[in-house]
Structure 1
Amino acid sequence: MKAMLINAYGADAPFKAAEVDKPDVKPGHVLVKIAASSVNTVDTMIRKMGKELPLSPDTPAILGMDFAGTVEAVGDGVTEYSVGDEVYGCAGGLADLPGTLAEFIVADSKLIAKKPTNLSMREAAALPLVAITAYEGLTRAGIQPGHKVLVHGGSGGVGHVAIQLAKHWGAEVYSTGGGEKQLALIERLGATGINYKTESVEQYVAKHTGGAGFELVFDSVGGANLTNSFEAAALNGQIATTVSMCELDLTPAHFKGLSLHVVFMLIPMLHHFQREQHAEILRDLAQISESGGLNPVLDEERFSLDQVADAYARLESGKGMGKVVVDYH
């Protein structure tokens, strides 16, 4: 099969087209012919940082985590999938799991689900990593109908899904963005937009919550921005974040009695821990999508498998709006 390999890591490490052996299906897994995959920030970090990240595969490596495609073969012990099923998931591209920048992947059946029937392969491939992350953060933070929810970075990959899921679950959703295009997208997705460049946390907390704060803050920016989340949260509020590799003073969180939920959705893949939860979440996400509650936003630029370096550059440029997707056919 054709694959795009990384032979050495680095900032602009080249992807080399190569013919590699098509993998054999194994027990508990399915062989999937990939139709599309999407690029995530963690993919670009692995390419750039290599072994500085404990989750990077040995080179030569096939990167890429998200995919949508068609089942070509079913391993022993797999009963829920048949040849010809259209599936989606996040199942490789790190540690010892070969990734999606190839024509086929052997995926653990516990890490995939049947593709939402209302989405194209491109759209379905955009969802798994970001949608599982958003789902996990909101549910772990105990989202309830009527909650006032603040999403930081609502025009990004994770953020734009978090807005839609929070709306689907009955919350009143607000979201920060830094420009007209970002705020237009946030509003289109059904949230009230907040321009963090022109409004202080104190100002928007006063304006939208009467000074009480948001019951739930989903911070897809994280890092130093967590101090803004602490300030924006209500007393005894909940904060979910996807980025917490930083040192912070937790004093403000202490005096408000805040709970902090750190979401690292790669744990099931990395540690072979509770993988079936990803299948359950993906099945639920498919139902939400089919009911009209979730539509991924795709970047307008299109890329083929041969143009994967351009796709990575597009995501890293920060100019994209929505998920960057690679098409295979």
Structure 2
Amino acid sequence: MVTTNTIPTHPEGKTMKAVCFSSFGKDPKKVLEVKTIPRPFIISGDGDDGEGNDGTTTTTKSQLLLIKVHACALNPIDKIRLNGDLAAVKPEQFTDNNVLGYDVSGMAYGALSEYVVCSATEVALKPTSISFAEAASFPLAGLTAYQSLKRGGVKEGSKVFIPGGAGGVGSLAIQIAKSVFKAGYVCTTASPGQGTELCQELGADRIIDYRSEDFETVLKGEDFDMAFDTMHQGDKMGTLLKKGGKIISISGPPSIEAIEEGMGGSVGFVVKMLLFLTRNRKAEKAAEKAGGSWEYIFMKPSGDDLKKLGAFLERGEIKAVIDTEVDGIDNFMTAVDKLWSGRSKGKCVIKIIV
């Protein structure tokens, strides 16, 4: 299915600012720019199907929400999309208004803009105790961590390995494992100094300095219930697992099963062959050798899951972790530069309303 991003002209001629691109590119400075484009709106009438802001068929008007964006967070998938690395499984039809971003204080594809239209089933109310920037930093990374840990069977007392604990997903996964699933032991990796200090603050029980220690060697035979592959290292995690343990991956080549589950249907022959040839067999074999399993998953937008996690945010049992917070959409490149550098500790957020 080709992803179209055409926003029809607003019936009243209203416009908005958005960070757009009209071609793929490795250098965001060459392909990203702030543009004025039509403001999205909800076309469908009460009880009738219609066309949504992305040019696709939508459900009824009552199931859609127009959100005024206060803040938007960046994610590694934005870089992957901009590079064109998603094109094989999700082709992109270029227009003048392909909008970057997945995370807002709400959630939507093409979120780095002043307004977005979302499905009501994909959003949850912002906890009153946190800022809009904190709320925007949470949905994609938080849901990715929560759904991965759940798929990994993490429960009270579980022993979990979460590398990259200072990153956007890792920093939330540590907290969710401890606070939501009541894991008994969480081990992570981080750089010395600020990264290690952050992981300690988030509740990690053990932190391995990845610059001087190899986790595959250090943790061999420690019988983890789950290893969370956030950095395409699944092939090194088999020796960490107990029998029956699971490696859940969100990084590297996805499996055919993950793509079909994420898209809600079968993929074409060419894509299926590409996925078959690039399948992470080393990770699968490493898990099988330990008597465990390897699985790749994609996050699924879920208002119910967000609501559940929002209660922990409201009580302060989980906290958003922000590395960079930029004022104003025109200054978006500061946040992009930090994320693209690979050195961010937590999330990079652009405040649309300052």
Query: Does the alignment reach a TM-score above 0.5?
Result: yes
Contact 1:32 1:104 in 2 (8 A): yes
Q: Which amino acid aligns with 1:117?
A: T
Cα 1:311–1:300 change in 2 (3 A) is closer
**Percent of aligned pairs with the same residue?**
30
Q: Distance in 2 between matches of 1:179 and 1:263?
A: 30
Which of 295-304 and 232-241 deviates more?
A: 295-304
**Counterpart in the other structure of 1:158:** 169
Contact 1:240 1:261 in 2 (8 A): yes
**Counterpart in the other structure of 2:285:** 251
Q: Distance in 2 between matches of 1:170 and 1:128?
A: 21
Contact 1:150 1:173 in 2 (8 A): yes
For structure 2, the residue ranges without an aligned partner over 5 or more in a row are 1-15, 45-60, 254-278
**Counterpart in the other structure of 2:191:** 178
**Counterpart in the other structure of 2:212:** 198
Q: Which amino acid aligns with 1:64?
A: G
**Counterpart in the other structure of 1:78:** none
Give the alignment's TM-score, normalised by structure 1. 0.81
Q: Distance in 2 between matches of 1:63 and 1:301?
A: 17
Offset of 1:50 from its aligned partner? 6.7
Q: Of the candidates 79, 90, 108, which is equivalent to residue 55 of structure 1?
A: 90
Is the counterpart of residue 219 in structure 1 residue 229 in structure 2? yes
Contact 1:37 1:126 in 2 (8 A): yes
Offset of 1:236 from its aligned partner? 1.5
Is the counterpart of residue 232 in structure 1 residue 227 in structure 2? no
Offset of 1:160 from its aligned partner? 0.6
Contact 1:132 1:282 in 2 (8 A): yes
Cα 1:20–1:230 change in 2 (3 A) is same
Q: Deviations over 1:131-152 (max 9, x none)?
A: 1100000001111111111101
**Counterpart in the other structure of 2:56:** none
SS of 1:20's partner is strand
**Counterpart in the other structure of 1:83:** none
Contact 2:324 2:349 in 1 (8 A): no
**Counterpart in the other structure of 1:119:** 130
Contact 2:190 2:207 in 1 (8 A): yes
Which of 29-38 and 19-28 deviates more?
A: 19-28
Q: Which amino acid aligns with 2:165?
A: G
Q: Distance in 1 between matches of 2:244 and 2:234?
A: 16
Please give the residue correspondences for 1:17-96 in structure 2 after superposition, counting only pairs within 5 Å: 17-25=34-42, 26=44, 27=61, 28-49=63-84, 52-55=87-90, 57-59=92-94, 60=96, 61-68=98-105, 88-89=106-107, 91-92=108-109
Contact 2:237 2:286 in 1 (8 A): no
Q: Of the candidates 8, 13, 16, which is equivalent to residue 33 of structure 2?
A: 16
Contact 1:216 1:239 in 2 (8 A): yes
Contact 2:216 2:237 in 1 (8 A): no
Give the alignment's TM-score, normalised by structure 2. 0.76
SS of 1:293's partner is coil
SS of 1:3's partner is strand
Which of 184-193 and 294-303 deviates more?
A: 294-303
For structure 1, the residue ranges without an aligned partner over 5 or more in a row are 69-87, 93-98, 269-274
**Counterpart in the other structure of 2:319:** 295
Q: Which amino acid aligns with 2:229?
A: D
Offset of 1:303 from its aligned partner? 4.5
